[in-house]
Chain A
Amino acid sequence: MSDFTLWDIARGLLLSARWTIALSLVAFIGGGVVGLLVLLLRTGRGHALPVAARTYIELFQGTPLLMQLFIAFFGLSLLGVDTTPWGAAGLALTLWASAFLAEIWRGCVDAVPRGQWEASSSLAMGYLQQMRHVVLPQAMRIAIAPTVGFSVQVIKGTALASIIGFMEISKAGTIITNATFKPFTVYAMVAALYFILCWPLSRLAKHLERKLNAAHRH
């Protein structure tokens, strides 16, 4: 029987951290793109599309991420797609993140004074033009801090992907525990690794919030 040193455990976890980061990036960027589309539908004109976008957001915010992962994992294969944990986790986390980001950004769009909409509308701008040239540039400033804050949620969310077999820090932690019988040490290190990934982002979000808020309040 071979012995595992602390460094062996740390190396295994650090190597798997690459996949946590990769999945987080995919979910965050994908979620941003889809979230922007949902945002446009949500704040757009008409009746049906905003309601549809709202339902989409409520569905993803009102159900567990774990269930969304399971449905993506088993649902994709029903559609005849050869499912891998990568595909299912990427899809589920992207859609999940898009719902949350759309809702966060909607709050920021709402925070732009109504007069801005009216002024741009009286300049004969269409909805997309208003968004592109008038509203989004102002909303983006408010959105930066909560968006950075949400990236922490995304990183933490990827831990659940381990349950559908995606190989990342938590999964590696379970595997290493099974080999070393040192759950206390291993899970403490797993937690520490997540902390190292998330804490700087949390601090950054708080810092940005303070800085941008101060500028906002003049």
Chain B
Amino acid sequence: MRYHFNFGDVLAYYPLLLKGALLTLELIAIGGVCGIALGIFGAWARSYGPRPLKMAVGAYVEIVRNTPFLVQLFFIFFGLPSAGIQLTELEAASLAMVFNLGAYSTEIIRAGVDAVPRGQIEAGMCLAMTRLQVFRHVVLRPALQKIWPALSSQVVIVMLGSAACSQIAVEDLTFAANFIQSRDFRAFEAYFIATGIYLVLAIFVRQVMRQIGIQLFPRKVKR
């Protein structure tokens, strides 16, 4: 028996696929913005924070980086309610993504922060800047500029990882593909098309990150 591919049946569900793709983008927008913010805080804490905070952030980074995203998601969505924290699917998914990207970006941004020469920090102090001002104006910007490509890749990786959110019934792109294949049994075609859309999304997100980088860091670093 030969199998006849039928992509038309799946494509007929394009509003559903589009809606799913938009939700995936929404998730990575929330996860990206809050995750990077958390990463900046984490990098600050790791480099300049008080000792207990340093250790707490270090433990957080190690735990997140050494456990699968799927398990983090399940823990937040299924586990936390029994500790009295009730979350909707969307809240749990957003939280998991922020939590996940936060740890990775802490590590990435910290590498950038470490690479800022001591002399620049001292120069900033000499200009009577407060510690926070030095971090904000002297350390953070060049640090982010240096690691922006790595951070962009990590955002794309987390976006692709968000496919797992369909497992807690978040209606993202993967959920749409699951739904379509359960309706018309065109499993291969549905996942094939969804994969293609993910590829487009990955390219799109990478471009967005590149543009943000160009806006944030108009000057090239002289080496």
* Chain A residues packing against B (C-beta within 8 Å): 59, 62-68, 70-71, 74-75, 78, 152, 156-160, 162-163, 170, 173-174, 177, 182-184, 186-188, 190-191, 194-195, 198-199, 202
Query: Contact between B75 and A195 (Cβ–Cβ < 8 Å)?
Result: no
Tell me how many residue pairs across A and B have CB atoms closer than 8 Å. Answer: 120
* Chain B residues packing against A (C-beta within 8 Å): 3, 62-63, 65-72, 74-75, 78-83, 156, 160-164, 166-167, 174, 177, 181, 187-188, 191-192, 194-195, 198-199, 202-203
CA distance A189 to B55 in the complex (A): 22
Query: Contact between B68 and A194 (Cβ–Cβ < 8 Å)?
Result: yes
7 closest residue pairs by CB, A with B: A159-B68, A64-B163, A183-B78, A198-B66, A74-B187, A184-B79, A187-B75
From A70, A157, A195, A199, name the one whose CB has the most chain B CB atoms within 10 angstroms: A70
Query: Contact between A187 and B79 (Cβ–Cβ < 8 Å)?
Result: yes
What are the residues of chain B within 8 A of A194 when measuring CB–CB? 66-68, 71
Query: Contact between B79 and A170 (Cβ–Cβ < 8 Å)?
Result: no
Partner of B174, one of A66, A173, A183, A184: A66
What are the residues of chain A within 8 A of B80 when measuring CB–CB? 184
Query: Contact between A62 and B202 (Cβ–Cβ < 8 Å)?
Result: yes
Chain B: interface secondary structure? helix
B167 vs chain A, min Cβ distance (A): 6
CA distance A195 to B59 in the complex (A): 12
Query: Contact between A195 and B188 (Cβ–Cβ < 8 Å)?
Result: no
**28 A/B residue pairs, CB under 8 Å, sorted by A:** A59-B199, A62-B156, A62-B198, A62-B202, A63-B160, A63-B198, A64-B174, A64-B198, A65-B161, A66-B163, A67-B177, A70-B177, A71-B188, A71-B191, A71-B192, A78-B3, A156-B68, A163-B167, A170-B70, A174-B74, A184-B79, A187-B75, A187-B78, A190-B75, A191-B71, A195-B63, A195-B66, A195-B67
B101 vs chain A, min Cβ distance (A): 15
With contact pairs A63-B198, A66-B174 given, residues A198 and B75 touching in the complex (Cβ less than 8 Å): no
What are the residues of chain A within 8 A of B181 when measuring CB–CB? 74
Q: Which residue of chain B has its CB nearest to the CB of A70? A: B191
CA distance A182 to B187 in the complex (A): 33
CA distance A173 to B63 in the complex (A): 18
What are the residues of chain A within 8 A of B188 when measuring CB–CB? 71, 74-75, 78
Partner of A182, one of B69, B82, B160: B82
B10 vs chain A, min Cβ distance (A): 12
A88 vs chain B, min Cβ distance (A): 12
